[in-house]
Structure 1
């Protein structure tokens, strides 16, 4: 298979062609030539307005439903959506029924994903059935391809269990993740505790619930000397806690959901259940602090936190709706609406691969082609027509966004969003 990408601006700081507009020739999945102009008669030509090419995007928090919730999204459909949305790799949460907590269930996910352009990496449950009581067989799942270990959106209340997990994972280089929420403090809250929750009569979740859990985990991390990833932080104080921990030399990394980078609890007026998220939407001040932390590099990873929910569990009264929103299709356009491309590209390419233990490459001759294709130009209103997923629970419906993904070239496959 021969593919010729024409006149593409290369966005890759590790490449000698960074920020240069070049033709890229790919033969049998390998980049064989990068020059100002290439003529290749037998090639599939890829040409778009203002075409940009970067290293393949990696989303580290994607839920697909299968097994157990195929009505929300199947693995096959989800991987096709990811590819057309510009992602060459996704890490899939154990947000399934049964939970991904055994070697065989990890292998199930890997086998279902074979043959797709987008790579699927399982995030296995940290505890059996994600119940937070007994640790799962981490090493067996790691050997079968589990990329990291987390009870999706479920905090580990048992301090000793988290300590043991951090110690045990060091023996084989496993990555432990801890959702930042103290359940006792959060209680039955469904929205950020503040002026808006009070006005709307919604039970609040104090940001203290997030801070207490992060502080506990950082103390445990300092004790064990291991490494920890804290997914989807949502407050300014959380940024400060993690920044200080990094200064102390702790091996801690964190991510933020695109939802919390763009939206605030002001969006809750109207009780649209698409804004019922976990972590909840916080204040505008928190949003600004999170955006600043992306630019400064304190936040290591940006994720869409893609979580499809079927209409029966989403289009209901706000308090009864399940948490979560889809985000793959809108991810790039949202980020491109907030930041300049070089302010966030590392958080969706090289950073997540390094943190999750995957090999980084560059857009250079002789390397495997694993690239995302996109444009930074053009504004549009995000509507249902832009949603490729089975579920339609997007928090960005009706929002004006900028730029779009054209598709990917990965695993010797060209997938375009057209």
Structure 2
């Protein structure tokens, strides 16, 4: 693939061309020249778009597709297409399929299905067999097949000894254990944040305490085992405090926050719109402010779309019975860019790569072209026309977002909308 990108502003603090508007010549997937006014004598394909910016390709640490078994929600092929059109060159894919991804063969299946695609699919294997929370899955075998982490998606490990053993065992081969932050006995039948809003709506509450207790437990176990832990999608101010304290102790812990938990609160549930039913639930404005501050100071390591496609049968029903989840790849950049500066939004979309074994190379001559192409200045109202996913369960529908994505250059391929 040979491409000449014209008049693009580079957003990459690790590059010598950060904040400069230049041309980028790419030959056979490698950056061969970066300068102003590059000529195109060999009639390479040119990319010239209004307000064009480029950055390192983006990474999402928690994406769900449906395949195998739940292809009506999303196939791997269309899921990777969605990621590419949304600016992501690498996505870590959860194990919540049917059957659950919990063996060497399962990981190999995901790798083979995504081979030769522009977007790198990074499989996350289940932490326990069938994600049942009873016995550890084949963690070492899955690592050998290409798994980058282990996580029972949105299912807490209730047995503390199992968590202890998982952290100890994974430390033998540098495995990353992920633990969903929820104490199920505290959560009970709660379907939204426990607060005055849940009381006024007559919906059972899921208190912040449930998340914070589980995080406190896991951090104690982590300190004991000296293991390697990732806590996905935290949502409360107290959770931030707990993780900040753990990092001061030099524990090997990282965490993420779902982008929708930065933009919406439990007040958005007054219409009983099930697209706003997510796990962890939307919290209060105080929590949102604490999460944003924690991203600014580095306590929270990365953001995720927590993209979870669900078919209409699981969403267009009574709120109590609707399945948790929203899609988020297509709206990720526009939402983040509406909250933070362009530089910070791109920083957040490229953080977390090393934790999940993703190469992080600056935009420099000689490096592989792994780029996101976007315009950060255009505002628009997000609608169903912006959704590429098979499932349409987005809580961002009808929201005004800032910044559009054109596509990616990755793995010697160009994908443009």
Give the TM-score taking structure 2 as reference length: 0.99
Task: Note if 1:309 corresponds to 2:310.
Answer: yes
Aligned to 1:26: 26
Deviates more, 1:32-41 or 1:179-188: 32-41
The whole-number CA distance in structure 1 between the counterparts of 2:396 and 2:117 is 27
Q: 1:333 deviation in Å?
A: 0.3
Matches within 5 A, 1:30-109: 30-41=30-41, 42-109=43-110
Q: What corresponds to 1:9 in structure 2?
A: 9
Q: How does 1:270-309 map to 2 (within 5 A)?
A: 270-309=271-310
Partners of 1:138 and 1:262 in 2: how far apart? 35
Alpha-carbon offset, residue 36 of structure 1: 1.3
Displacement of 1:373: 0.6
Secondary structure at the aligned position of 1:269 is classed as helix
Could you tell me how far 1:378 is from its partner in structure 2? 1.4
Structure 1 residues without counterparts, runs of 5 or longer: none
Distance 1:14 1:173 in 2: 27
Residue 146 (structure 1) aligns with? 147
**Cα offsets for 1:41-80 (capped at 9, x unmatched):** 3211111111111111001110001011100000001001
Q: Conserved in 1, the CA contact under 8 Å of 2:31 and 2:368?
A: yes
Q: Which whole-Å deviations, capped at 9, do the CAs of 1:170-222 have from their partners, x for residues lacking one? A: 11111000000000100110000001100000000010000000000100110
Runs of 4+ in structure 1 over 4 Å off: none
Partners of 1:294 and 1:343 within 8 A in 2: no
* Alignment: residue pair count: 416
User: Is the partner of 1:167 in helix, strand or coil?
Assistant: helix
State the distance in 2 between where 1:298 and 1:81 align. 29
Secondary structure of the corresponding residue to residue 407 of structure 2: strand
Give a deviation string over 1:281-338, Cα, whole Å, max 9, x none.
Answer: 0001111111111111111110000000000111111111100000011110000011
Query: Whole-Å Cα distance in 2 between the matches of residues 37 and 174 of structure 1?
Result: 47
- Once the two structures are TM-superposed, the CA of residue 251 in structure 1 deviates from its matched residue by 0.8
Please list the CA deviations of residues 257-285 of structure 1 after superposition, one character each: whole Å capped at 9, or x if unmatched: 01101010010011000000000000011
- Mapped to 2, the partners of 1:331 and 1:224 lie a distance apart of 35
1:162 counterpart = 2:190: no
Mapping of residues 318-357 of structure 1, within 5 Å: 318-349=319-350, 351-357=351-357
Q: RMSD of the TM alignment (CA)? A: 0.8
Match of 2:243 in 1: 242
Corresponding residue of 1:212: 213
Residues 363-402 of structure 1: matches in 2 within 5 Å? Answer: 363-402=363-402
In the alignment, is the contact (CA less than 8 A) between 1:370 and 1:410 conserved in 2?
yes
Structure 1, 331-340 or 37-46: larger mean CA deviation: 37-46
CA distance in 2, matches of 1:171, 1:353: 21
Q: Indicate if the aligned counterparts of 2:333 and 2:345 stay in contact, CA closer than 8 A.
A: no
What pairs up with 1:164-243 in 2 under 5 angstroms?
164-243=165-244
Contact 1:295–1:344 under 8 Å retained in 2: no
Counterpart CA distance in 1 for 2:121 and 2:323 is 25
- 1:375-404 Cα offsets, whole Å, 9 max, x none, are 111111101111111100000001011111
Give the 3-state SS of the residue equivalent to 1:325 in structure 2.
coil
Deviation at 1:115, TM superposition (A): 2.0
* Distance in 1 between residues matched to 2:305 and 2:218, nearest whole Å: 24
Give yes or no for contact 2:107–2:142 (8 Å, CA) kept in 1: yes
Cα distance in structure 2, aligned partners of 1:405 and 1:363: 18
Cα separation, 2, equivalents of 1:358 and 1:284: 33
Shift of the alpha carbon at 1:352?
1.3
Give the distance between the partners of 1:31 and 1:93, measured in 2 at CA: 32
* Structure 2 match to 1:254: 255
TM-score, normalised to structure 1's length?
0.99
Report the alpha carbon displacement of residue 345 of structure 1 after superposing the two structures with TM: 2.2
Alpha-carbon distance in 2 for matches of 1:57, 1:370 = 9
Task: Give 1:347 shift.
Answer: 2.4
**Superposed, which structure 2 residues align to 1:118-129 within 5 Å?**
118-129=119-130
* Contact 1:301–1:347 (CA under 8 A) maintained in structure 2: yes
Aligned counterparts of 1:343 and 1:389: Cα–Cα separation in 2: 26
